[in-house]
Amino acid sequence: METRLTEAFQRSAHASVAEPILRACVHCGFCNATCPTYQLLGDELDGPRGRIYQIKQVLEGQPATRIVQQHLDRCLTCRNCETTCPSGVQYGHLVEIGRAVVDSQVRRPWPERLLHAVLREGLTRPAVFGAGVWLGRLLRPLLPSALRDKLPIPRPAGPRPTSTRTSPISRATTSPGDAHAVLLLRGCVQPAMLPSIDAATQRVLHALGIETVEAPGAGCCGAIRHHLNDPDGALGNLRANIDAWWPYLESGRVDTLVINASGCTAMAKEYGHLLRDDPIYAERARRISACTQDITQFLLPHTGALKTRLGAVANRVAVQTPCTLQHAQRLPGVMEQLLGQLGVTCVSVAESHLCCGSAGTYSVLHSSLSQQLRDRKLDHLQRESPDIILSDNIGCIAHLAAGTSLPVWHWIEWLDQALGTNA
């Protein structure tokens, strides 16, 4: 579409990203057909096409308003519209720029500012968040249901491997040229909420003869601060992680960063874009993004080796593919492919492309819309009476588990149990 950005914005670092995205949009509206908020609200301004137009107006000089801010806030950043768009519009990059510009012009009410600050500082600091989770579980019977829903009941983590020397699956059964070790992102929220996911990941990789390394100093991937419009804090997270990981990559000890939370994987794959203008970190960030793989993506070539240990599988599984896996990382169907190669029966799930409503902090900031999307998703996931729901992201798992009596697990936990490596 025709775009005439203000001179002030043209001088900003964001102009080179925003302008070609705006010009690529032909305003066809195909994106609205797969937008979760448009499906619920039916408002053009709560769909990608309408949000793009509102951002365009602000970048062309029209003053931002609180109403525009709310329409942009209601976007889940699921990026389903990118998968649908025939013109290749990179909506995810544009909406983050739009939010930053609008927030610079419109001051949020103080309760919102306070909540954003609590989420930014509380969720991204493992020690603080871990203490909060411990206290929340201690006081669980006294908590309101909205808070109880955010605290999934933990599963036993089990022992973690200390060496790969006695691997249950022979090194000879893995692909030639595989690295002997991979980096793992420990992250900020997952270790406190469901430590069983990291433990299961390490055991499964250990079974393949792959050592796992958690670099001291690496922490939050930066996604929470990034999506809450704290660019400086987010870039601080990115640089700290790169500093922690770089010695391992530079030495050749590892060549892959493996992440078992698809939201964090999607963020790490954006490091190169977000630090593209940093004279010190740009090249390192590009390499980090290039070597990052989701655990699903990483293990897909190893299904043959895993299947020899697995045997027959009785479970009927419903797969919830997170938006960060199928839309942000462009890996649709990879979970079903991997599980299918392991002999798992994956039941049919309608509207598998739509967001479950978790979307990071979205379930806290927009609880009503989030719960509507969760109920819609669970209705489809449970329709074929599966034995278990499997996902690839801690946020989706906790969000869905609060709305169903069915077990909701990370698929790596299920695989770990099926392999018997958690004994």
Which tens digits make up the pLDDT trace of 75-92? 999 999 999 999 999 999
pLDDT at 176: 36
The dihedral region occupied by 214, where left means phi > 0, alpha psi between -120 and 50, and beta the remainder, is beta
**CB of 320 within 8 A of CB of 379?**
no
Of 125-134, 158-167, 248-257, 335-344, least confident by mean pLDDT is: 158-167
What per-residue confidence (pLDDT) applies to 175?
41
Query: 304 by DSSP, 3-state: which?
Result: helix
Task: Answer yes or no: are the C-beta atoms of 239 and 127 closer than 8 Å.
Answer: no
> Residue 78: which residues within 8 A CB-CB, separation 6 or more?
36, 323, 327, 355, 359
pLDDT exceeding 70 applies to what percent of the chain? 95
User: What's the pLDDT at 161?
Assistant: 80
Contact present, 281 and 275 (Cβ < 8 Å): yes
Residue 165 pLDDT class (50, 70, 90 cuts):
very low
Two tokens, residue 394: 């801690």
Instruction: Convert the pLDDT of each residue in 357-394 to its tens digit.
Output: 999 999 999 999 999 999 999 999 999 999 999 999 99
Taking the C-alpha atoms of 14, 17, 18 and 20 in order, what is their torsion angle to the nearest 10 degrees?
150
How far is it, in rounded angstroms, from Cα 229 to Cα 73?
11
**pLDDT of 216 higher than 60:** yes
Q: Which of 11, 23, 80 is nearest to 55 (CA)?
A: 23
The gap from C-alpha 257 to its chain's centroid, in whole angstroms, comes to: 15
Eight-state DSSP code of residue 357: S
CA atoms within 13 A of residue 300's CA, in its CB half-sphere: 12
Where is average pLDDT lowest: 27-41, 47-61, 303-317, 354-368? 303-317
pLDDT of residue 139: 82
Q: Which residue has the higher pLDDT, 47 or 10?
A: 47
Residue 354 pLDDT level (bands cut at 50, 70, 90): very high
- Percent pLDDT > 90 in the chain is 76
d(CA 43, CA 256): 43
Cα separation, 58 vs 71, whole angstroms = 13
- Provide the whole-model pTM: 0.91
What's the rounded Cα separation, in Å, for the pair 36 and 357? 8
What average pLDDT does the segment 300-325 reach?
90
Average pLDDT estimate for 112-135: 91
pLDDT of residue 423: 59
Residue 220 in tokens: 């939050």
| Average pLDDT in the chain | 90
Give 315's DSSP letter: -
